[in-house]
Structure 1
């Protein structure tokens, strides 16, 4: 197994319920994942419309789409296949259930590799209510604070962030979407090429809206 699941997630409840894990991957694993990342398959995705609550600019490689392997999956390096299989496995789901108290077994999942490059961002939003939980696994070994890319937590979309969490590798954040789960990713400002890299796992209560906002925009 690639992931280390020895410790329960830490829980916080304000301004919304958020779970945090640390050291799920060691530095050697992060180095190998970054060195073999399937960059050729990354596609830019963007929604930049003021009428849309969630605006963003970022890049995505689908790995698993509603339990089905995406086209890239057979070409993934071994370490990436092993990571995805861990994230799809019953042990990971059971570990999440024990920490969060949310029933997840049997729900359909999507898993994607997301990168944020210079100028990319994710505006303040709440996530779709059709999700049971959103899980974010961070892969950057080092992250310069001045480059932006912080996971921002808000009590209200009309106020500034109450906290910012740096995208430290091996860290995991998880939260159920609610009416108060306002969060964002601050704009990347690093023209020298630093990329913010995460793997996101989404457990869906219903799949009618699954992935619909992530389709590439013309």
Structure 2
């Protein structure tokens, strides 16, 4: 198993419920994952339309789409296949369920590799209401704080960030979407080319909006 699930998740409830884990991956594992990242398969994705609550510019490789292996999966290096199998395994789901109190077993999952390059960002938003929980695993062993890319927590979409969490490698954040779960990723300011790298796991209550651009609910 690639992941270390020995430590308990820390919970905070304000301004919204957020769980935080540390040291799920060691330094050697982080270096191996980053050095073998499937960069050839990364595609830029963007929504930059003020009519949408969520606007972003970033890059994505689908690894698992609603429980099905994505086309890239058979060609992944061994450590990446092992990581994905850990993240879709029963032990990881049970660990999350016990920490969060959210029933996740049996829900469909999507897993993606996301990178943020210079100028990329994620605006303040709440996440889709059809998700049970969003889980983010950070892969950068070192990240310069002056390069942006902070996970920002907000009291409201019009307030400044109440807190910023650096994208420290081996760290995990998890949160259910609610009407208060306002968050963002600050703009990357790293012209030398270092990428902010995460793996995101989404557990879906329904798949109506899975994989789609954000659509406001009627």
* TM-score when normalising by structure 2: 0.98
Q: What is aligned with 2:180?
A: 180
Q: What is aligned with 2:129?
A: 129
Cα deviation code 1:141-198 (max 9, x no counterpart): 1000000000000001101000000000000000000000000000001100010000
Q: What is aligned with 2:94?
A: 94
Q: Aligned equivalents of 2:115 and 2:135: distance in 1?
A: 15
Q: Find the residue that maps to 1:152 and give its secondary structure.
A: strand
Gaps of 5+ in 2: none
Cα deviation code 1:57-116 (max 9, x no counterpart): 000000000000000000000000000000000000000000000000000000000000
Q: Aligned equivalents of 2:199 and 2:190: distance in 1?
A: 21
Q: What is aligned with 1:17?
A: 17
Runs of 4+ with >4 A deviation: none
Gaps of 5+ in 1: none
Q: Aligned equivalents of 1:206 and 1:7: distance in 2?
A: 30
Q: What is aligned with 2:70?
A: 70
Q: Aligned equivalents of 1:194 and 1:127: distance in 2?
A: 26
Q: What is aligned with 1:48?
A: 48
Aligned residues: 214
